[in-house]
Chains A and B, each alone.
Chain A
Amino acid sequence: MASDSRNGEIELVSVTKRFGDTVAVDSVSLRIPHGAYCCLLGPSGCGKTTILRMIAGHETPSQGDIRIGGESVVGRPPVRRGTAMMFQAYALFPHLSVLDNVAFSLKMRGVDRAARQKQARELLSKVRLEQFAERMPAQLSGGQQQRVALARALITNPRVLLLDEPLSALDEYLRLRMRGELRRMQKQLGITFVHVTHTQLEAIAVADILVVMEQGRIEQAASPNAIFDTPRTAYVARFVGGQNVLSGKVESVADGIATVRASDGARFTVPLRGAKPAPGSQLFLSIRRDRIEVAKTGSDSAVADEVNMVRGQIHSIEYQGSYAKVTIDLARAEEFVANLSDIEFGRTPLEIGDHVLARWSTADVCLLEGADGADQKAYADAELMGG
């Protein structure tokens, strides 16, 4: 049993949470192994925070079970779950000094003053804040407050640390530094971290397991690499970013590769990886933005159409440092983006308004599951959040 109490494996079994008539979390199942860094990623209102709060014990699931270390924790108070939570704006007690904030849980357990202060100081020195022990929370910077919150959570010696948008209160520079710090801390402690965020890059940077959520459901749960390489649905491809999503009707299937025809006549090939689509059915596919080759065509197209190619006019060019993001207006409504490396971009200078064609190879195409889900709003969100 002693080893069990240190096991931070989390398992959600068909968990549903309703608030009145709204379903915040819709029959979600998920297993997070002990010692993993898991990120729940999704737009606001997708249910990610609700899941976190149910694991913490601040909400009770309407249905389903939550297990930590193999034991059901539903109905248990937060303190008896072995979890600790870092709140969104940290929720440091404004009336207590930094030291008393960190020592709070020991005080609740009746640890005597000297012992609890000693232990709290040790933890503060771990987050390099020992010299701020006597300060009040309002006298600290955002980054320092975050470290106090971390120390306060860790003093309970949790097997699971739950982080609700832990970096959203920080400025860009600190956000980048602290996410590295969180990752390092998690590896050092070897406990499970569950981190809620709406920022794709943050999630990709820290997570072992990335859980992409939408409208109370899990769209995909896998390693960041797998999600980036092989998004399961159009939604994931769009939300996580870095992908172009195209669609067409199946024309033919040969050697595990389907050829689809888009409404404007363009044809694409897609490796099926075991899928068996019926001829004529609609398929969705994604192509990584950084695997696309762009060439100028001039206004009258001399180049013949070929498979895996689209034509259009350059709509915008954003220089991003190591690469340039080139947005191409297709004749169809949807935008098409190519991320060209700076070397490549230097070789073929492009201007807004240029007529171009974009090409890619079959190997870089990924078949997406299910219907379109071409939710323009989610797409716009993804763009907005730096996808």
Chain B
Amino acid sequence: MRGTANERRPWTFYALAAFFVLFVLFLYGPMIVIYVLSFQGPNGGLTFPLNGVSLHWFHALIAQERTGDIAGAFRRSIGLAAMVTIFTVVFSVMAGLAFRRRFAGASMVFYMAIASLIMPGLFVSLGIGLVFQSLNMQPTWYGSALGAQLTWTLPYGLLIMFAVLGRFNRAYEEAASDLGASNWQRLLYVTLPIVLPGIIGVALFGFTLSYDEFPRTVLTAGSTNTLPLEIWAMTTNVTSPALFAVGTVTTVISFIVIAVALTSIALIQRRRARRAGKANESTTVS
């Protein structure tokens, strides 16, 4: 905001800025409280004051005292999120490309995706559970839960691809064909690299939505838990700061993923427009 600092701002700016700060406090305050409390001393409880500072509850987590199979749940969640990310990226990019042309059934697919997006997750879970039951198949985290989560991440991926490809200038592709690129070369060397930031956005959504998914996974993960299911179980039977320690760990993982995704998007954008100053395409994926 340098350069305009001398200009007087209306009082509404300060009022709204104060409101915004309060909102950010509301958004982050409670979360920060549990991150702090997760470093509670060994004799500390679920609230302040801090009874010393320690990593005790993180150790307790790893040792899995009075908690379930946290380490296993964590491994499964990461593996599942990785699979969901791959499928979401590949399928949404393909579908996004398809939707650039008219084709019979396009609006059917679109409406199904929207319905899938806003359907309460528990119902999807229930439905898939029923399908597996009626087929006498055991639900598994890598089968039924994977499918359940895709019904949630694919619509998001598709909508992001709409936004990304909607901004994409077709002249780039025509230039590529003009310069002798085959359809595959055009896709590989021009279209995909140019929309890469958007694709990373899809991957970010795919990973984090899956990693934190609960309602769609609850009846489809079978006999083993993913991390959110494990945390859900802990909310009812663990009354120690170990619960907060889990929260801190998963949030750190989420933040690492977010940071990697956003940094790589920013780096790509910066590389393309280092001195352009007219980066009027906001990088916000939404």
Contacts and interface: CB of A to CB of B under 8 A. Distances in A.
Task: Kindly name the residue among A91, A107, A153 whose own CB sees the greatest number of chain B CB atoms within 10 A.
Answer: A91
A103 to B, nearest CB: 10
B7 interface: no
A95 interface: yes
B275 A79 contact: no
B165 to A, nearest CB: 15
A136 B271 contact: yes
B190 A93 contact: yes
A84 interface: yes
A95 to B, nearest CB: 5
Given A56-B178, A79-B177, A87 B194 contact: no
Contact of A156 (B180, B268, B274): B180
A105 B182 CA distance: 11
Contacts of A156: 178-180
Interface string B148-188: 00000000000000000000010110111111111001000
Give the interface size class of chain A. Answer: 20 to 34
B29 interface: no
Given A95-B193, A139-B274, A109 B171 contact: no
B276 interface: yes
Nearest to A100: B189
A169 to B, nearest CB: 12
A50 to B, nearest CB: 13
B276 A138 contact: yes
B177 A138 contact: no
A77 interface: yes
A78 B174 CA distance: 9
Q: Is the interface of A mostly helix, strand, loop or mixed?
A: mixed
Nearest to B190: A93
Nearest to A137: B272
A108 B175 contact: no
B196 interface: yes
A79 B179 contact: yes
A108 B179 contact: yes
Q: Is the interface of B mostly helix, strand, loop or mixed?
A: helix
Interface string A207-219: 0000000000000
Interface string B249-280: 00000000000000000001001111110000
Contacts of B178: 56-58, 78-79, 83-85, 153, 156
Contacts of A78: 174, 177-178, 180
B276 A107 contact: no
A89 B179 contact: no
Contacts of A349: none
Nearest to B276: A138
A91 B172 contact: yes
Interface string A103-124: 0110111000000000000000
Given A85-B175, A93-B172, A93-B194, A138 B273 contact: yes
Nearest to B183: A77
Nearest to A91: B171
B180 A79 contact: yes
B190 A58 contact: no
A293 B175 CA distance: 52
Contacts of B182: 108
Task: Kindly name the residue among A56, A84, A94, A107 whose own CB sees the greatest number of chain B CB atoms within 10 A.
Answer: A94
Task: Kindly name the residue among A58, A77, A79, A138 whose own CB sees the greatest number of chain B CB atoms within 10 A.
Answer: A138
B171 A104 contact: no
A78 B268 CA distance: 30
B185 A91 contact: no
A91 B196 CA distance: 17
Nearest to B279: A138
B132 to A, nearest CB: 44
Contacts of B190: 93
A136 B172 contact: no
B230 to A, nearest CB: 42
A73 to B, nearest CB: 13
Interface string A352-369: 000000000000000000
Interface string A62-105: 00000000000000011100011101110101110000000011
Contacts of A83: 178
Nearest to B171: A91
B194 to A, nearest CB: 6
A68 to B, nearest CB: 14
Interface string A44-62: 0000000000001110000
Contacts of B276: 138-139
A138 B269 CA distance: 11
6 contacts: A58-B177, A78-B174, A78-B177, A84-B179, A87-B174, A91-B171
Interface of B: 169, 171-172, 174-182, 185, 189-190, 193-194, 196, 268, 271-276
8 cross-chain pairs, A with B, having the tightest CB-CB distances, nearest first: A105-B179, A91-B171, A79-B180, A138-B276, A138-B273, A91-B175, A108-B180, A95-B193
Given A87-B175, A136-B273, 10 more contacts: A57-B178, A58-B178, A78-B180, A79-B178, A93-B172, A93-B175, A94-B194, A136-B272, A136-B274, A139-B273
